[in-house]
């Protein structure tokens, strides 16, 4: 326990996470399971798969162009079972839910723009290079901070660790009364130097069996979940713990709320204290720069911070549908840069190819790696080690910027 005092210049940052049984996250996982199944057989498949769920019903829709066949209904049921909706008493389960599939092919207009980049169509073909165009227009944000070992903001890291642990306590049978749906929320106090100094509050909402004793559940959650995840040196006598503040959380998942792919984009990234371009990730193949561009932006930001060029870094990319090169690349280091931002930008352009073709190749994005990312965040995932979490460019950036390693 600690008693770090706050001052007038301190401020609060908050983030939330949801378990894999949350209805929106269930949709994300089904969308990415469909994507993975297609990429496993057809790495060049084009996928834009959306899912909606409600009580007793799953609807899969969108645009898919591929040479392979996958049994989408079977994928839906297997994903629901894996998440834990395997009991009719939950009001929604993999055996009895209805599944409706409404899939068409990708628009030929979009396909043409992706197949041959604008730059190739507008130049002499003898001088052009083989490039695909961006699969959509949009803005992508990447962020990194040295406040955690994964170079992520502390609030979102703790929020994800809590929901992952909550799910583990359920699946491992430690707390057998838990059901799949759940949420966490963490409020962190920062000092005037933007360093976390204490945890202001931790909130857990955990779906449970109807006969559970509320006092026992609160005690279990505080001891076996919060006590195991939240650093004790950031907890003081003013830290509040809230467990199922509504008093009861029996009806959950699709039985309690409708779900939809792409509705947890802040949970998927860095938390509400940081920018987001607006595009969701799940169910999209890597030609969609909403996904691949965001991964590249995180890769760049993380290597900049790992190289010691800045303590915090935001990278913003913007693309136009059908074009290979981004139309805008911007950086924000919040006053923490150790070299001029113009030099950082020069180093990035030298060491990172920002065209969709190169992003897909360098980050190896045509593999079926996505369904495991569809819950608990796409960034800071040291448990999965996706390619965009590598810091293999950090030493190069450090040397080329003439910085001495600390």
Task: Please check whether residue 244 lies inside any domain of the structure.
Answer: yes
Secondary structure of 167-208 in HEC code, one letter for each residue: HHHHHCCCCCCEEEEEEEEEEEEECCCCCEEEEEEEEEEEEE
Q: Give the H/E segment covering residue 35.
A: helix 23-41
- How many C-beta atoms lie closer than 10 Å to residue 47's C-beta? 27
Residues with catalytic function = 22, 24-25, 50, 63, 183, 249, 257-258, 263-264, 284, 288, 290
Closest CA relative to residue 235, chosen from 200, 209, 208: 200
pLDDT at 3: 42
Domain that holds residue 204: 11-18+154-251
Q: Give pLDDT tens digits for 194-245.
A: 999 999 999 999 999 999 999 999 999 999 999 999 999 999 999 999 999 9
| CATH code, 212 | 3.30.300.10
Task: Please check whether residue 350 lies inside any domain of the structure.
Answer: no
Task: Please check whether residue 230 lies inside any domain of the structure.
Answer: yes
Task: Please check whether residue 146 lies inside any domain of the structure.
Answer: no
pLDDT at 323: 85
Give CA–CA dist 234/131, Å, rounded. Answer: 49
Count of domains forming the chain:
1
165-179 burial, b if ≥16 CB within 10 A, otherwise e? bbbebbeeeebebbb
Task: Please check whether residue 273 lies inside any domain of the structure.
Answer: no
Strands 11-18, 178-190: pairing is antiparallel
pLDDT at 406: 41
**pLDDT < 70: residue spans in the chain:** 1-8, 106-130, 403-406
190-205 burial, b if ≥16 CB within 10 A, otherwise e? beeeeebbbbbbbbbb
Reported for 327-330, long-range contacts at CB under 8 A and 24+ positions apart, including other chains, are 329/354
Angle at 356 between CA 355 and CA 361, to 5 degrees: 100
Q: Give pLDDT tens digits for 71-86.
A: 999 999 999 999 999 9
Task: Please check whether residue 216 lies inside any domain of the structure.
Answer: yes
Task: Please check whether residue 305 lies inside any domain of the structure.
Answer: no
């Amino acid at each position: 326990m600690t008693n770090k005092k706050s001052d007038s210049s301190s401020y609060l940052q908050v983030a939330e996470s949801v378990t894999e049984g949350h209805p929106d996250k269930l949709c994300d996982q089904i969308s990415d399971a469909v994507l993975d199944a297609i990429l496993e057989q057809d790495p060049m498949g084009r996928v834009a798969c959306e899912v909606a769920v409600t009580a007793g019903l799953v609807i899969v829709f969108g645009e898919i162009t591929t040479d392979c066949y996958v049994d989408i209904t079977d994928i839906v049921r297997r994903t629901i079972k894996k998440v834990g909706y395997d009991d009719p008493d939950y009001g929604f389960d993999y055996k009895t839910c209805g599944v409706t599939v409404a899939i068409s092919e990708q628009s030929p207009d979009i396909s043409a723009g992706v197949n041959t980049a604008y730059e190739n169509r507008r130049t002499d073909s003898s001088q052009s290079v083989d490039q695909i165009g961006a699969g959509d227009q949009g803005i992508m944000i990447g962020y990194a901070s040295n406040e955690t070992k994964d170079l992520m903001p502390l609030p979102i890291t703790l929020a994800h660790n809590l929901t992952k642990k909550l799910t583990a306590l359920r699946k491992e049978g430690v707390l057998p009364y838990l059901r799949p749906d759940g949420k966490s929320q963490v409020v962190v106090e920062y000092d005037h130097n933007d360093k976390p100094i204490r945890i202001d509050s931790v909130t857990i909402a955990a779906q449970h069996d109807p006969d559970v004793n509320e006092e026992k559940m609160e005690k279990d959650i505080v001891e076996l979940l919060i006590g195991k995840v939240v650093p004790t040196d950031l907890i003081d006598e003013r830290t509040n713990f809230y467990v199922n503040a509504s008093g009861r959380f029996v009806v959950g998942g699709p039985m309690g709320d409708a779900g939809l792919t792409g509705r947890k984009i802040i949970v998927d990234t860095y938390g509400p204290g940081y920018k987001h371009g607006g595009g969701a990730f799940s169910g999209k193949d890597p030609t969609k720069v909403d996904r691949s561009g965001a991964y590249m932006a995180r890769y760049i930001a993380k290597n900049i911070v790992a190289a010691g060029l800045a303590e915090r870094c935001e990278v913003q990319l913007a693309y136009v549908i059908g074009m290979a090169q981004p139309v805008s690349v911007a950086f924000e280091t919040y006053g923490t840069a150790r070299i001029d931002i113009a030099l950082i930008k020069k180093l990035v352009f030298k060491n990172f190819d920002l065209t969709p073709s190169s992003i897909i190749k360098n980050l190896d994005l045509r593999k079926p790696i996505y369904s495991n990312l569809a819950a608990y965040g796409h960034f800071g995932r040291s448990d999965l080690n996706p390619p965009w979490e590598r810091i293999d460019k950090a030493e190069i950036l450090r040397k080329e910027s003439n910085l001495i390693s600390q």
